[in-house]
Structure 1
Amino acid sequence: MKKRTISKMFLMCAAATVLATGCAGGNKGTNAAGTESAQSTENATGAESAQSAESVSDKAAEAEKSGAVASGDETVEAKEVVEEGMEPVLADALKEGTYEVKVDSSSSMFTVTKCELTVKDGKMQAVMTMSGSGYGKLYLGKAEEAADEEESKTIPAETAADGSCTFTVPVEALDKGIDCSAFSKKKEKWYDREIVFRADSLPSEAYAEGTIVTAESLGLKDGTYTVEVKMDGGSGKVSVTSPTHLTVKDGVVMAEVIWSSPNYDYMKVDDVKYDRIGQVGEGDHSAFEIPVAEFDRKLAVLADTVAMSQPHEISYTLTFDSSSLKAEN
């Protein structure tokens, strides 16, 4: 009886010891899990805090950037400057030298009044004279890019001897749209612009031999021909007769240009004035004879109309297609 009591007491003590050890182990595990959970929470909170700070920084940078770029009602409506049929003209198509070239701009607030193009060592560079001095620098690219760019990558304004504002820019190609952002000194913002250096405003002698199509290169003999002519520019309300007549004499080509309107009194080619054939107001058209130095390239012309309250010169281009030439009997 005494032995049974001792054994029972021993078993109870052993069970108590196991339970105590188990509880102790359980508390230890719980404490470890709690510590890990706290550390995990702390790490997560730190990461979220860092991400939040980074997000705030990005938003601040974006706000600063957007504030430096004009948009919406701060800009005027842009116009297309790249015309249908334009093909890029690279430096190797031109002779080395300096030429006056016309520059079209997508914005009436960014007007180039004069431009000198220099071709040298297979590269082109232009000095653009602006209509005003409101822009302090340019960047060849989009306004958003300009806002992020280093100051050393921008093109600063220069003051010419006559006090006008100029910018000296590299020219990748003529007859190609070039993104050109302008920084307003007054608004302290970048404005998106697009410009085109017009190949048709260069004189024929600016082109390298073999790059233009002439009466000589075509082997045209003296005589009369017909040729298809395409007109671009103006309001689109008038047209020219096509095909039209050509006369070749001693290597000089003269084209008869017949407008669908009777209201033109003269034309200009390379600043030379050509009067109308016949009296203004006669018939339902206006006819002129003008020289054609080359084919297959846009020829810049001016035609003066008297249909408005005041006479007004309108810019057009005429392209004479050499593949359509036919000799008249």
Structure 2
Amino acid sequence: MKIIKKILNFMLTISIVLTVLTGCNIQNTSPLNDKPATDENSLQSTDQENIQEDNTEKEAETEEPICGNQIEDGTYSIEVSSSSSMFKIIDAQLTVKNGEMSAVLTLSGTGYEKLYMGTEEEALADTDDKCIYFVEDSQGKYTYEVPVEALNQDINCAAWSIRKEKWYDRVLVFHSSSIPEKVITENSVPDGIYTAEVILSGGSGRASIESPADITAAGGTMTATIIWSSKSYEHMLIDGVYFYPVNTTGNSTFEIPVSMDKDIEVTAQTVAMSTPHDIDYTLRFDSATLKSK
């Protein structure tokens, strides 16, 4: 009997030990504790990325739009952000002249044949001559010269993929914080209609223009109405852009973009001497005489 009792006690002990061990294994394999160790790190990384994106958005919101007439003429290296990592700009050179801005963009890749300053939908509806085709630089990179309406604001740009043969929408922002602060003026002229004295120099000295001239300021740009002393002027050429008379009777009248206190070089074609002649002039508008009309 004693032997049987010892055997029973031994078996009972073994049973208890097995029960305890089995319980521990069940607890350790519980689904509640089966999370990968990297999940928390991934969540932290995602949170950090979200915080960085929020900070970028807040920084962009604090930048006021800046137009060409608020920047001194010159060429500046500028930072440009893109809405897509597939459209990476590795270099951008901003040129400002007479209140107008343009930039030469260099992309990291060679996947885009042409750009269109607008949306994909607008590109599909427009003609191909409005597109900007790439120019290959000395290092084989694709560059594009694009107009820049203003800094610190969204600019729509559609890019044509060579491989996919379709347009892709991109949004670009040119950041004023990356160019010298000293070349940016504090304020632009508020929207409105003004007059200002204008000085015409060059030519033979016989021609003149009406002064003061009417100036319209809108959206950070200024447009002047130029009325010549003759009806014989057929066009004006400014920075490679032709401007034609806006009137059909009376002295030749043009509407051209201008900046204050800067020499604006123009070429005007006249037929006063029976055959067309191109004559170079310089215009200068005096900001001290700017008055609301």
TM-score range, shorter chain: 0.3 to 0.5
State the TM-score, normalizing by the size of structure 1: 0.39
| Bigger Rg, structure 1 or 2 | 1
